[in-house]
Structure 1
């Protein structure tokens, strides 16, 4: 993947490619988790003012996405991290995670949290987060303890 052909930018969630990616994301979440344990947001929910949504495009094709949800001046959460199936294993998720972690630093967040599934389907995501310095923690924000969820955090100091 040529770096010059990669574009990660804020997205208004109106492009058909990004809507399809988010629909696929929700479908996979419900296929791999009990409904009460699915915390993925739909397109409309991702348009909340406290959420900044980013898309990853390569040569004009959308390959992935990620969002930051603000909880306070210093605490944010990663939401809707997704790479399309055909782009898996090409570094898209790593680039998205590095980008969103950098954005969190720029915005002044000292804690970046996330929730992911505890099932085998989510192991690649958990491994990615662990490689980037995330550690398991307890539930945060409005989340409740759930055997189907793993909560992770990444603390930064300024």
Structure 2
């Protein structure tokens, strides 16, 4: 039986959220060269072109994610991360579903993301692929190479 997570916009001042975002950045630096780390710090997630969400299991933080507007018809997933205690428990999937629903509500026709190619990123790549994402051509400032993988799907 899957859990129901309460997904709410904001919470970028919550200590649990800030800690998870910092852990996310730290792990990205562990698996990729600094020039290939595209994860956003909390300050950047507060910008007007980004909408940040946190998924909660009662009072426990389960996952975070954001949707960045690239154009009126295109968006990008950012800062997707399940808390360690919630990996494999549907929190990432719940956040992905929420972000895709928000993208559709905004009228986006395309959603992209950049992730890593190292084995540590394999669970994320499998989640995205199972939800209609496929490798795509580079977009924005990203370059697909031995470290970075660009993925996208149409809505």
User: Which category of TM-score, normalised to the shorter sequence, fits these structures?
Assistant: over 0.9
Q: How many residues align?
A: 154
> What secondary structure, in the 3-state scheme, does the structure 2 residue paired with 1:55 have?
strand
Question: Unmatched 5+ residue regions in structure 1?
Answer: none
- Mapping 1:88-99, distance limit 5 Å: 88-99=87-98
Once the two structures are TM-superposed, the CA of residue 146 in structure 1 deviates from its matched residue by 3.0
- Normalising to structure 1: TM-score of the pair? 0.94
The aligned runs of 1:7-156 (5 Å cut-off) are 7-156=6-155
Structure 1 segments of 4 or more deviating over 6 A? none
Following TM superposition, by how much is the alpha carbon of 1:145 offset from its aligned partner in structure 2, in angstroms? 3.6
8 Å CA contact retained: 2:138, 2:144: yes
Is contact 1:37–1:146 with CA below 8 Å preserved after alignment? no
Contact 2:144–2:150 (Cα < 8 Å) also in 1? no
Provide the C-alpha distance between the structure 2 equivalents of 1:15 and 1:68, rounded to a whole number of angstroms.
Answer: 19
Q: CA deviation at 1:128?
A: 0.4
Residues 11, 54 of structure 2: 8 Å contact kept? no
Please give the alpha-carbon distance, in whole angstroms, between the structure 2 residues aligned to 1:33 and 1:81: 16
CA distance in 1 between partners of 2:93 and 2:3 (Å)? 15
| Alpha-carbon separation, structure 1, partners of 2:143 and 2:94 | 30
Cα-Cα RMSD: 1.0
Unaligned runs of 5+ in 2: none
CA spacing shift, 1:132–1:35, aligned 2, 3 Å: same
Indicate the SS of the match to 2:30.
helix
Q: CA deviation at 1:147?
A: 2.0
TM-score by length of 2: 0.96
